[in-house]
Chain A
Amino acid sequence: MTHARIGRKIPPGFSLDVDFAIGPGVTAISGPTGAGKTLLLALLAGIERPDSGRILLQDAILFDAASGVNVPARHRDCAYIGPAEALFPHMTLRQNLLFAARRRPRLERHRKTGEMLERFQLTAAAGERPREIAAGERLRGEVARALAAEPKLLLADDRGWSEPLVNQMRAAAGCPILLVTDDFDLCCAAANELAILSAGRIAQRGTPRQVLERPESLDVARITGIPNLFAATIGALDPGHNRSRLEIENFSLEGPYIRGHFRGDRVWVAIRPENVRVLAGDVAARPGLIGVELLRAVPRWRSVRLEFSHGIFADVAHEEFARRKDNKSWLVEFPPEALIVL
């Protein structure tokens, strides 16, 4: 079992307090800056010391505040890729890898080093110093070096991970990987699990799609990039028709029935911008349509993000926007099934 329960205070004001098991495969960690992602990795690696808690790696105790056990970093078998580049600048790439594989017998060490260099397409650059090779090669070199030590856990801070590299990492590592990244596409593609860290706490965890589709708190909704967040009062609840009425400052919405709440409760309503339905101005009025004013249209790679009054954001396809650009009045509609009530 690999499990970490860690408490650490950093005055003034910040405290990290997490309790989670690390499963096999890739566990992604996301969160805003200052959430404690880097600190969490440093605590697991043994670079920093927790104030309280207990860290187990494959049932071996690495840290236990109660009994005062604190295994030093060099005996932890946790490879660590920090937030900044740390290939030794005075050694060639091959020497860097040999440094990591040092505890193995000579032949085995050279075999492992050669294998890792080949796996990460670094054979040509093996004789070069880090400053003489490209940044991408340096990053791959650091991953290769970390894995040449044959760790029991790989800790990888956010270094702009790309999907192919993470897949290579997965294939080459015979151990769980803890990966810090803010790229949710990458999480869905390559991670088995996603944990959202916010202000030193794990706000939510689950499979990446679970977390992204069903955020459980306002914080997670914000961190996963939902701009449409509204404070609402429940105006009516109708379990029979699976309906509810949500009163928001300037408009009201039809929503699905909300379990565990009463009329008059304050809740947060979130909806992804791609789920907001945008209609041209000359549609017959019907309940649920909200008249809005277009404030800004920001083009993006796959869609245009429309910024309406009342803090409503909607993503529409480029062609669709091109057709309706000259609209005088705009209407938006929130499909009840796409509403997320927090």
Chain B
Amino acid sequence: MLWFSLRVAGVATAAALAVGPWLAWLLARKQFAWKAALAALLGAALFVPPPVICYYFLCVLERRGSFTWQAAGAAAALASVPLMVWAGRAAFTRLDARYANAARTLGASEWRVFWVVELPLAYRPMLLAAGLAGGRVLAETLATLAIASRLKP
């Protein structure tokens, strides 16, 4: 049970680390269509309480008969990615745009601006958020499994 939860938490954290910084950067720095909608969706996902996520884990995954750790991890990513994105967005927003602008005038592409300038200057709060997200997923998965094992002996 613990190993299963750890794997779920690992997948969810990895997903958050892979997608989170990018989404956070886009939200903090760029203008695009449906930006407000995306931000609202991520915000709403952040405020869904853990019991609700637990419940849907069980309902959706058990009915399909596919309660594997990969599937659970994908579901848990729904909880971890928003946490990461919000922390990252705050970190990027607080970082003055002058470094990115200087890099651009020196001929750096947006890709390079992100990887070489902005991410190294703002990664700390995001690491913390990744830790938090991992912990949250771990706790939720353990709780879910504990409840599930009680309900069906």
Contact = CB atoms under 8 A, between A and B. Distances in A.
Contacts of B106: 74, 79, 99-100, 145-146, 149
Main secondary structure of the interface of B (DSSP, over half): helix
Given A84-B98, A90-B120, A78 B105 contact: yes
A45 B120 CA distance: 24
Interface in A182-219: none
A86 interface: yes
Interface in A60-110: 72-80, 82, 84, 86, 88-90, 99-100, 102-103
Contact of A46 (B98, B103, B105): B105
Contacts of A76: 105
Contacts, number: 59
A47 interface: yes
Interface residues of A, number: 26
A149 B121 contact: no
A46 B108 contact: no
Interface residues of B, number: 16
Interface string A24-55: 00000000000000000010011100000000
A72 B104 contact: yes
B104 A82 contact: no
Given A88-B117, A90-B121, A82 B101 contact: yes
Contact of B104 (A73, A88, A103, A145): A73
Top 3 closest pairs, chain A to chain B, by CB? A80-B105, A86-B102, A73-B104
12 contacts: A42-B101, A46-B104, A74-B108, A77-B107, A79-B106, A86-B98, A86-B102, A88-B99, A90-B121, A99-B106, A100-B107, A149-B107
Interface of B: 96, 98-99, 101-109, 116-117, 120-121
